[in-house]
Amino acid sequence: MRKSISVSFFSTAALMLIVGIAVMGFSEMYLVGRYFAQEKYATLDTVLDVADVAIDRLEQTVQQQVALTTEQSDHLVENVDLISDTAAADLFYVSADGQVLLATSDGCLQQNTVSAAVLDKVADKQGQSYHALSKLDGMFAQRHYVAARLMRNSEGLPMGYLFVCTDSAGFSEFLGNMLSNFMLSASLMLLCASILSMLLTQRLTGPLHNISEAAKRFGGGDFSVRVEADGDDEVAQLAHNFNTMAANLEAIDSSRAQFMGNIAHELRTPMTTIKGFIDGMLDGTIPPELQNHYLQIVSQETGRLARLVQNMLDISKLESGEYRVNARLYNIWDTLTGAALSAEQRITEAGIEVEGLEDAGNTLVYADPDLIHQVVYNLLDNAIKFTPSGGVIRLSAVALGPEVEVSVWNSGQGIAPENLPFVFERFYKEDKSRGLNARGSGLGLHICKVLVRLAGGQIRVESQHGEWCRFVFTLPSELPNKKNLAQLADESGTFDHIVPPRS
């Protein structure tokens, strides 16, 4: 059977409370009993001191073998009885061999001889008072508080033993009353604590129950569920964390659905084109003299499909951590120059002018050359696509302390301000049609973002809509363990200033 948190918490709290009350009760009873006994023994010791005088007179008379007159005997008994009544205690005196010689209340004594074991304990006190709560080996029917003292004559020899005792029934009654009051108080405490514990557990388990129910719905695929989080305690923090997790997973699920939709669009468009043109050739709709033209389009769409699949494979490899970075110090201008030369034919055909290579120097970066070549190639490819005929592409690499800032600037339409925050997302295109004339798959810039972060840098975009666009990324210029690299603004957004194109 499942044991709920409420039951567990209540059981634990109740057990701890009962144990605490029991410990407190026993310790209080012990302290009270000890205090009561000390007070009793102090009173009995005082009675012993007062009775010493009368008993000492009796012993002296006995030792002198002088018989007490009836009047003297009665007077002695009256004095002893007065002492006994005043202290509310019984007093009796025994000889050295344990025989009771004088007693204020014969009714409390069960026998007339004190055992040798008791006498030895009194004698061991060496003139100090002997204290005990006992029956004195059968002298009393009930336990008594007893104080006793060995009395000696003027020569230091034992004369006898003086005992003062009082019944412990008063303490037993007091202890019983105290125990009754304590049990009543403990019961009220337990009841109040139980009510408070139930209220507290309800307050604690209520939000946990809500989180549990939300988790069930969440596990069923409902990522929109949220939990109300009030306060700033641990349970509220758990609810906040749950809501954050739910929001993140909802975003991931939405991104996954969008990702699948984007893939479907990207694959469907070229495949539909390829199928349509091939079917047209097969059924004769496209005449033989136009087949080479449409075969060229089919070849372009096939290449587009291949690039899309390769980009998706690259992203999967990068985000799964399979790509191993082989970083080293090298000149970033080698990468910029190599990327420009590899695209020279396209640049020439488009009538685009490339600037900045004349400023090439020896600007070292600590990165993986192959990885950075892919970044520069994608940015340059993107710039070529969106630079009009007669436009300009400008490459630069500037050392800024522990980092190098690399930029690819191009003239042209640029990017609208409302689209800047999304340019690095998967499959994002300003042209939402995704038709035959849509340029690229929308994965190149996302790959750049992943690759630059993998290299330990940052990437962002700046644009003046209708005039120019500039992609900037940073790379460490030395081994990362030498200095802490500055963290620049990432991706797109508003900047304090925008670098204008060089005239």
> What CATH number is associated with residue 54?
3.30.450.20
The Cα-based distances of 43 to 18, 49, 146, 166, 263 in angstroms read 37, 10, 11, 10, 101
Average pLDDT over residues 457-475: 93
Same-domain status, 311 and 333: no
Residue where a domain terminates, one of 137, 156, 173: 173
Residue type at position 282: L
Average pLDDT over residues 453-463: 91
Give me the percent of the chain exceeding a pLDDT of 70. 78
Same-domain status, 371 and 450: yes
> 184: buried, middle or exposed (CB in 10 Å: 19+, 13-18, 0-12)?
exposed
Residue where a domain terminates, one of 270, 286, 317: 317
373-408 pLDDT tens trace: 889 988 998 899 899 999 999 999 999 989 999 999
Same-domain status, 161 and 300: no
Same-domain status, 20 and 160: yes
Distance CA 409, CA 392 (A): 8
Q: Does this model's pTM top 0.95?
A: no
Whether residue 290 is contained in a domain is answered as: yes
315 pLDDT above the threshold of 70: no
Of residues 57 and 256, the one with the higher pLDDT is: 256
| Paired residues of 471 in beta bridges | 408, 461
Whether residue 491 is contained in a domain is answered as: no
Domain that holds residue 256: 234-317
Whether residue 307 is contained in a domain is answered as: yes
Average pLDDT over residues 288-313: 81
Residue where a domain terminates, one of 173, 197, 216: 173
The reported pLDDT for the residue numbered 1 is 46
Same-domain status, 36 and 159: yes
Whether residue 189 is contained in a domain is answered as: no
200-229 pLDDT tens trace: 777 777 777 777 788 888 777 777 788 777
The reported pLDDT for the residue numbered 491 is 41
167-198 pLDDT tens trace: 877 777 777 777 788 788 888 877 887 788 77
Distance CA 362, CA 397 (A): 10
The Cα-based distances of 435 to 265, 286, 431, 441, 442 in angstroms read 9, 21, 9, 11, 13
User: Count of domains in the chain?
Assistant: 3
Whether residue 229 is contained in a domain is answered as: no
What CATH number did the domain enclosing 308 receive? 1.10.287.130
Same-domain status, 334 and 440: yes
Three-class SS string for 97-164? CCEEEEECCHHHCCCCECCHHHHHHHHCCCCCCEEEEECCCCCCCCCEEEEEEEEECCCCCEEEEEEE
What CATH number did the domain enclosing 412 receive? 3.30.565.10
The reported pLDDT for the residue numbered 190 is 79
Find the range with the poorest average confidence among 306-310, 334-338, 357-361, 404-408: 306-310
End-to-end Cα distance, the chain? 81
Average pLDDT over residues 354-368: 89
